[in-house]
């Protein structure tokens, strides 16, 4: 599928990505999320079913697979 960003000649390809969601002061990190990623500009699309799955995971408060350190840029 061709990239939806205007002027970008790239094509989306299927990849597993790391998706982060900010919830209040917390940052939640999801690994191995299936996404379509443009091979030129890295624009990322998540399928509606994937977003629903992430929302369901967040609602169920599962135990995280692992913890990630969070750094401020400055
Ligand atoms: Zn693109």
Task: Give me the mean pLDDT over the 31-47 stretch.
Answer: 97
Q: What is the pLDDT of residues 21-35, one digit of tens each?
A: 998 988 999 999 999
Q: How far is CA 71 from the centre of its chain?
A: 19
pLDDT, position 42: 96
Alpha carbon of 8 to ligand 1 centroid (Å): 5
Ion ligand 1 neighbours (CB, 5 A) are: 3, 5, 8, 10, 38, 40-41, 43
Is residue 61 very low, low, confident or very high in pLDDT (cuts 50, 70, 90)? confident
Q: What is the Cβ-side half-sphere exposure of residue 17, based on CA atoms within 13 angstroms?
A: 19
pLDDT of residue 62 exceeding 90, the answer is no
Instruction: Please determine, for residue 9, whether its predicted confidence score (pLDDT) is greater than 90.
Output: yes
- Report the phi/psi class of residue 60: left, alpha or beta, with left for phi > 0 and alpha for psi in -120 to 50: alpha
């Amino acid at each position: 599928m061709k990239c939806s960003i205007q002027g970008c000649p790239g094509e989306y390809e299927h990849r597993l990505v790391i998706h982060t969601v900010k919830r209040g002061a917390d940052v939640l990190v999801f690994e191995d999320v299936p996404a379509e990623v443009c091979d030129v500009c890295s624009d990322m699309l998540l399928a509606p079913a994937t977003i629903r799955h992430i929302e369901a995971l967040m609602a169920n408060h599962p135990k995280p697979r692992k913890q990630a350190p969070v750094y401020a840029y400055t």
